[in-house]
A and B are shown apart, each in its own frame.
Chain A
Amino acid sequence: EAGVAQSPRYKIIEKRQSVAFWCNPISGHATLYWYQQILGQGPKLLIQFQNNGVVDDSQLPKDRFSAERLKGVDSTLKIQPAKLEDSAVYLCASSPTGLGVDEQFFGPGTRLTVL
């Protein structure tokens, strides 16, 4: 079974520029998550999708971050414009249902550096 795929793996941009990340979840998984992990901290949920609908985006800085999951499969996360404090690893995860014992499977992440 193929895992969660993410691209790019690394990205360096200057502040105020825009950047987009792509995620392809495990086939058949209804739930998709985007997390932000700052160095030395645990992952922080940015947004959760159930199929192509948003379930939880309460921690997404909506003035600069946006995400979509068209057709309930792939997802993109965009930052526009980027700030220095956005430097982090952006992890995408998926799970079959998002409930109970449902394990989340993580992709390799995109390491973003904002200069």
Chain B
Amino acid sequence: GQNIDQPTEMTATEGAIVQINCTYQTSGFNGLFWYQQHAGEAPTFLSYNVLDGLEEKGRFSSFLSRSKGYSYLLLKELQMKDSASYLCAVRGGNNRLAFGKGNQVVVIP
């Protein structure tokens, strides 16, 4: 089975940097995804990690450590539109994508 743990909510100021953590336990591992979900909307893809290390994509970066079962998503230069839920999802050995509950980020002026 798969178990994914994320903190539930955080507040940050516009222009700041915020780190969203995700720890997981899984039978087999075929990659970790981060999705962004605005209230009332569908999730949209942000990043994918399958090897250890940091993947950078503009203002967003994602890090993976497979040995620790740990990932984080780093959001830089926060903007008001970044207020959303950030979902960590792990693709296990059965190729099923299991999502965490999401971390609600609230950006304030």
Residues of A within 8 A of B (CB): 33, 40-45, 48, 55-56, 91, 98-101, 103-109
Residues of chain A with a CB closer than 8 A to B45's CB: 103-105
Measured between beta carbons, the chain A residues less than 8 angstroms from B95 are: 55-56, 98-99
Q: B99 on the interface (CB 8 Å rule)?
A: yes
Say yes or no: A104 contacts B94, CB within 8 Å: no
A56 touches B97 (CB 8 A): no
User: Would B42 and A45 count as touching, CB distance under 8 A?
Assistant: no
**SS class, residues of chain B in contact with chain A:** strand
Q: How many B residues, CB 8 Å from partner?
A: 22
Given A100-B30, A100-B50, A101-B50: A43 and B96 within 8 A (CB)?
A: no
Cβ-closest 7 pairs across A and B: A42-B99, A106-B42, A103-B45, A43-B99, A101-B48, A42-B101, A41-B101
Residue of B nearest to A91 (CB): B42
Check A106–B97 contact: CB distance below 8 A. no
Contact count A vs B, C-beta below 8 Å: 47
CA distance A100 to B33 in the complex (A): 11
Q: A42-B102, A98-B95, A100-B30 are in contact. Are A108 and B43 (CB under 8 A)?
A: no
Is B31's CB under 8 angstroms from A42's CB? no
Establish whether residues B44 and A106, one from each chain, have CB atoms under 8 Å apart when the complex forms: yes
Tell me the bound Cα distance from A99 to B92 in angstroms.
11
B window 63-109: CB within 8 A of A: 87, 89, 94-102
**Minimum CB–CB distance for B24 against chain A, Å:** 12
Shortest B33–chain A CB gap in Å is: 8
Query: 23 A-B contacts, Cβ less than 8 Å apart?
Result: A33-B97, A40-B101, A42-B4, A42-B100, A42-B101, A42-B102, A43-B43, A43-B87, A45-B96, A56-B96, A91-B43, A98-B95, A100-B30, A101-B48, A103-B33, A103-B45, A103-B48, A104-B45, A105-B45, A106-B42, A106-B43, A108-B41, A108-B42
Set of chain A residues within 8 Å of B30, measured between Cβ atoms: 99-100
